């Protein structure tokens, strides 16, 4: 009987109130590729953003921490806010050219869309 409900749950997440609980996943984080092996695509987007313009940097392959560090550098040099999630950096405003120059100085392969 117990086996039946475990099968139905599959890979469901179980929540704990224990502050020391560490959730373990089977997925390992991908190692970050060196800058010269990264192919990043820069584009402008206004859809689903209430008419506000954002610059997207897509195609980053690597750890979430490295993505967030790159996003922090871009946000600081552009003087704006933004976020980093799922391999995509979102920078508030139209900074396509400026971000392209910054990334090329860091030896990234960059393509504008």
Helix (H, G, I), strand (E, B) or coil at 73: helix
DSSP state for residue 40 in the 8-state scheme:
E
Which of 40, 89, 53 is CA-nearest to residue 69?
Answer: 89
Helices (H), the chain: 2-9, 64-78, 96-105
- The CA distances from residue 3 to 48, 77, 110, in Å, are 44, 55, 51
Query: What pTM value is reported for the model?
Result: 0.73
- 83 backbone dihedrals φ, ψ, rounded to 5°: -150, 170
- Among 49, 48, 50, 44, smallest CA distance to 95 is for 44
Q: What is the pLDDT of residues 65-113, one digit of tens each?
A: 999 999 999 999 999 999 999 889 999 999 999 999 999 999 999 999 8
Assess if CATH 3.30.780.10 describes domain 29-112.
yes
User: Sorting pLDDT into bands at 50, 70 and 90, what band is 41?
Assistant: very high
CB 89 within 8 A of CB 67: yes
pLDDT band at 49 (very low <50, low <70, confident <90, very high): confident
Q: Let me know if 42 is exposed, middle or buried by CB neighbors in 10 A (0-12, 13-18, 19+).
A: buried
pLDDT of 63 strictly over 70:
yes
Per residue in 5-28, pLDDT (tens digit) is 556 666 556 666 777 776 665 556
């Amino acid at each position: 009987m117990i086996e039946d409900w475990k099968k139905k749950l599959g890979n469901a997440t179980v929540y704990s109130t224990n502050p020391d609980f560490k959730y373990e996943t089977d997925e390992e984080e991908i190692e970050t590729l060196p800058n010269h092996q990264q192919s990043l695509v820069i584009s402008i987007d206004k859809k689903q953003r209430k008419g506000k313009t954002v610059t997207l940097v897509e195609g980053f392959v690597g750890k979430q921490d490295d993505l967030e560090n790159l996003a922090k550098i871009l946000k600081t040099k552009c003087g704006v806010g933004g976020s980093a999630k799922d391999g995509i950096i979102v920078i508030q405003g139209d900074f396509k050219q400026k971000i392209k120059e910054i990334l090329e100085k860091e030896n990234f392969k960059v393509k504008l869309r």
